[in-house]
Amino acid sequence: MMDIIQANMSTIVWCLVAALLAVGAFSFRSTLEFWLNHWKYTFPVLGKTARLARHGIHGQGGWTDSERTLCGDYNKFISYLSRAEFNKRNDYLAKADDSGRSPTPLWLMVLLTVLVIAEGLGFSYLLGSWMARDGSANTHTLLMIAIVLVLCVIMVFLTHFAGHQLYRSNLVARCRKQWKQDKTQERFSSRKVKLDADQSVDDAEPDYTQIVNRVGTSHSYFMVALTVCVILVIAVTSTWMRWSNLNAEQTREAMGVSQNADAGNPFATTNAVPAELVASQKAADDRARAEESSSTRSEGAAAFITLAVIFVVTQIVGIFGGFAWGFGGRESLAAWRTTKGFTTFEDYNNYFAPLRAIAQSQLENLQKRLAENADISGKTFSKSFRDYVIEQRAFADLESNGSHVAPEAAPERAPVMATRVAEVETQRASEIPAARPVAQSTVPPVSTGQSLEAIIAEIETTSDVSRKKELIVRLDEPLRQQVIGEIKRRKERAEAAKHALDSQLDDLFKA
């Protein structure tokens, strides 16, 4: 195995570098995507700003298509929460006892993956050798890689899930204990509180009730017990395999030493050496080999126990990762993502303020180029990135609340919202004709007075698949289920009969 690693050291190093770069890019993907989008707009001559500046036609609401495109591209990377919305999400996290927690960091998952792979290399090599006793070294290597990957995926998933279940179950169990000690509340949970609901609905209730209203009342330690059993089985099995392999190696070495000693001794088959000297020398050699074997076995046992302890500790670290990170609340992850993990609105707003400034600056640059390239008689380019955000929020309010519109945008929102409503109605109207052919089907209904056999016979004698479906759809629900079940059973019987016939023919024509 070490020979394989040394022969491919450069490839392994480059793979590790690529993996680290991929981890970093994934961890900061949102920031990277924003700057990549900004680079596409600011690229000289061929940038998107230069292309959009060639089209300055005003549309509804005083916007040009170019301005809307630019604002839409930047708006994808900027989050907007009012102070009330931000506080609502932080209240949810606090009442779910998830304040200060965060999702499991990617670096920890990568570290656990590397640890599991490193620890499992030796064990997987032994296991791969047993899976293909007569295989080549390349076969053993491929099996080793496959086993390591499977072991890594299973153990990282199990330990993380077990740690998260342990945290959530302990939280619910603690709340249940407090509820039983309180004896003033009839119900353990008073209601199911969602993230978008008013978070003050249970302010008058105890803390444990507020927690289970958002976390839930059920808990289990099944995955914890399963993970512990899997860890112990793998640790014991790997240690036993390593110990057995050491015994086999010592046996082979002892047999080889004995044969080599007899082959290299010219007096082994003669009486040139007195029997007393031969016996004395043999006893000394046996004692030396026994001491060496005992020492090797002791060192091997210590090494194997150390490897087992390292494996168990590695899995404990994985369980701790799932326990220390992650959320117990049903929607705590969504709350954390929208607040970006900030605990104060000022920090949250300061995080996005530079991004909004960059978007506004780029919009002003586009408007300046539009004014230079377009005929601007009677036209103005006075829209701001804030105006676009207000419009988008008004759109969201219109779609979710019917007619609620941001007050500051009301004068300019009327034509745009009217157009939006007209588009929705047109889309709905265009979908109606597509559904009419089904409602106006001319397929005659299948008589429910027919026997089951007659209906199935009619379906089986029909060659058109669409006609078959229509005949089944026109049946009453109970009869339809009977027909579908009988057709499935006949198909299964036909397939079984065909399989039996194929087996008979294979036996008949077997060479």
- pLDDT at residue 108 is higher than 80: yes
Closest CA to 209 of 197, 217, 219: 217
Crossing angle for the helix pair 65-75 and 29-42, to the nearest 10 degrees: 160
At 256 the pLDDT is: 64
Kindly tell me if the per-residue pLDDT of 510 is higher than 60: no
Indicate whether 467 belongs to any domain. Answer: yes
Which position has the higher pLDDT, 146 or 306?
306
Residue 64: pLDDT band with limits 50, 70, 90: confident
Q: Does residue 14 surpass a pLDDT of 70?
A: yes
Instruction: Write down the pLDDT at residue 58.
Output: 62
* Cα distance between residue 37 and residue 34, in whole Å: 5
Q: 491 in a domain, yes or no? A: yes
Contact 383, 63 (CB under 8 A): yes
Which residues pair with residue 64 across a beta bridge?
Answer: 58
Q: Is residue 170 predicted with pLDDT exceeding 80?
A: yes
Query: How far is residue 441's CA from residue 212's CA, in Å, rounded to a whole number?
Result: 52
Enclosing domain of residue 485: 454-508
Identify whether 325 is part of a domain.
Answer: no
Q: How far is the C-alpha of 499 from the C-alpha of 298, rounded, in Å?
A: 58
pLDDT at position 509 is: 41
Please state the domain count of the chain.
Answer: 1
**Has residue 24 been placed in a domain?**
no
Cα–Cα nearest to 76, from 24, 27, 25, 37 = 37
How far are the Cα atoms of 40, 79, 491 from residue 361, in angstroms, in the given order?
15, 18, 68
Distance of alpha carbon 62 from alpha carbon 81, whole angstroms: 26
Of 503, 490, 498, whose CA–CA distance to 455 is shortest? 490
Q: Contact, 300 vs 243, CB < 8 A?
A: yes
Convert 356-376 to b/e letters by CB count within 10 Å (16 or more is b).
Answer: bebbbebbeebbebbeeebee
Choose the most confident range, by mean pLDDT, from 70-84, 262-276, 294-308: 70-84
Position 494 in a domain: yes
Q: Which two tokens stand for residue 255?
A: 């047999």
Mean pLDDT of 96-111: 89
What percent of the residues of the chain are helix, what percent strand, and what percent coil, each to the nearest 5? 75, 0, 25
**Which whole number is the average pLDDT over 289-293?**
69
Does the residue 88 lie in any domain?
no
291-300, 386-395, 418-427: least confidently modelled range: 418-427
* 187 pLDDT above the threshold of 80: yes
Average pLDDT, the chain: 77
Average the pLDDT over each of 14-23, 274-283, 335-344, 349-358 and give the range with the smallest value.
274-283
pLDDT band of 165, cuts 50, 70, 90? very high
- DSSP state string for 360-429: HHHHHHHHHHHHHHS--TT------HHHHHHHHHHHHHHHHHSS---GGGHHHHHHHHHHHHHHHHHHHH
pLDDT of 267 above 60: no
CA distances from 16 to 11, 156, 301 (A): 9, 19, 32
Nearest by Cα to 318 from 442, 153, 464:
153
pLDDT tens digits, 425-454 = 344 334 333 333 333 334 344 444 567 788
Mean pLDDT value across residues 481-503: 77
Cβ atoms of 356 and 139 closer than 8 Å: no
Compare 506 and 201 and report the one with higher pLDDT: 201
In a domain, 461, yes or no: yes
Q: Is residue 418 part of a domain?
A: no
pLDDT digits (tens, 9 = 90+) for 114-157: 888 887 776 776 666 666 566 566 676 777 777 778 888 899 99
pLDDT score recorded for residue 26 = 67
pLDDT at 217: 93
- Check pLDDT > 60 for residue 1: no
Rounded Cα–Cα distance for residues 62 and 416 (Å): 10
> Lowest-confidence range among 75-89, 265-279, 289-303?
265-279
Q: Dihedral of the CA atoms 295, 301, 307, 313 (nearest 10)?
A: -130
Cα distances from 269 to residues 258, 264, 272, 282, in angstroms, run: 14, 11, 9, 15
Q: Does residue 420 register a pLDDT over 50?
A: no
Q: How much is the average pLDDT of 450-471?
A: 79
Query: Residue 98: pLDDT above 80?
Result: yes
The whole-angstrom separation of Cα 34 and Cα 70 is 13
